[in-house]
């Protein structure tokens, strides 16, 4: 038997769809939440690799492959908030037709709610929650209204 270590876990190839690769290790299920997939609204397959060896600098990563779906810009921007190094590859007829990196902007508007219940953005006023990105690895957001650091980004995504 060969002693060669498995370099990278291979998930089954897809004909059409999206690959979200280089997800920060441990965030795959939070990305699944962002995708809002549930068993009543899908009719194709999803493969999830968790804690798989990466051949890039990140060493360990998570990866998701979704058949027959492309992601809208808002979904991709939310993914950047929990997995700032993720890459999005659009697969068409088995080939990578488009590939780009998610982008965590310096300013985040309308993607997450403030974790301070007394913040003006949580008091029924017509004020969109807004944050300044003060850290990137891992992402850290500071509310522009109450100055508080957003605790638990995954649970506060809109
Ligand atoms: N037909 C396919 N079905 C499923 N996944 C695919 C398919 N083609 C490419 N991929 C995946 O899409 C991603 C981007 O493909 P690419 O060929 O750019 O990989 P790569 O060279 O390993 O890139 P990176 O340096 O970002 O890791 C990879 O995760 C790859 O495994
Ligand atoms: Mg790779
Ligand atoms: Zn606030």
Tens of pLDDT, residues 83-133:
999 999 999 999 999 999 999 999 999 999 999 999 999 999 999 999 999
User: From the CB of residue 48, how many other CB atoms can be counted at a distance below 10 Å?
Assistant: 17
Residue 143 and residue 129 in contact, taking contact as beta carbons nearer than 8 Å: yes
**Mutational test site, ligand 1, from 12, 15, 17, 19, max ligand atoms within 8 Å of CB:** 19
Ligand 1: residue whose CA is nearest its atom 2: 13
**pLDDT score of 8 more than 70:** no
**107-156: same fold as 17-101?**
no
The contacts of residue 115 (CB under 8 Å, 6+ apart) are 148, 150, 151, 152, 156
Domain coordinates of the chain in residue numbers?
17-101, 107-156
pLDDT in tens, 26-38: 999 999 999 998 8
What predicted TM-score, i.e. pTM, was given to this entire model?
A: 0.93
**Mutational test site, ligand 1, from 17, 64, 96, max ligand atoms within 8 Å of CB:** 96
61 alpha carbon, distance to own chain's centre: 12
What distance in angstroms lies between residue 56's CA and the mean position of ligand 2's atoms? 7
What distance in angstroms lies between residue 32's CA and the mean position of ligand 1's atoms? 19
The helix (run of H) or strand (run of E) holding residue 49 is strand 46-53
The contacts of residue 27 (CB under 8 Å, 6+ apart) are 62, 82, 83, 154
Q: Which residues sit with their C-beta closer than 6 Å to ligand 1?
A: 13-14, 19, 21, 56, 65, 87, 89, 91, 94, 96, 99
**Mutational test site, ligand 1, from 89, 99, 100, 101, max ligand atoms within 8 Å of CB:** 89
Residue 51: its pLDDT value, please?
93
Query: Using CA atoms, how far apart are residues 34 and 154, in angstroms rounded to an integer?
Result: 9
What distance in angstroms lies between residue 25's CA and the mean position of ligand 3's atoms? 28
Give percent of the chain above pLDDT 90.
84
The class level of CATH for 107-156 reads mainly beta
Query: Using CA atoms, how far apart are residues 83 and 46, in angstroms rounded to an integer?
Result: 18
Architecture of domain 17-101: 2-Layer Sandwich (3.30)
């Amino acid at each position: 038997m060969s002693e060669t270590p498995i370099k990278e876990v291979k998930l089954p190839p897809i004909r059409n769809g999206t690959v979200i690769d280089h997800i920060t290790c441990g965030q795959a299920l939070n990305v699944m939440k962002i995708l809002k997939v549930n068993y009543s609204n899908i009719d194709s397959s999803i493969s999830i690799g968790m804690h798989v060896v990466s051949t890039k600098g990140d060493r360990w990563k998570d990866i998701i492959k979704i058949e027959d779906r492309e992601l809208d810009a808002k979904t991709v921007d939310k993914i950047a908030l929990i997995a700032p190094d993720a890459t999005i590859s659009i697969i068409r007829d088995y080939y990578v037709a488009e590939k780009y990196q998610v982008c965590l902007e310096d300013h985040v508007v309308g993607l997450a709610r403030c974790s301070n219940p007394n913040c003006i953005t949580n008091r029924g006023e017509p004020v969109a929650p807004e944050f300044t990105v003060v850290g990137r690895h891992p992402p850290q957001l500071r509310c522009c209204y109450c100055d508080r650091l957003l605790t638990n980004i995954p649970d506060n995504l809109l």
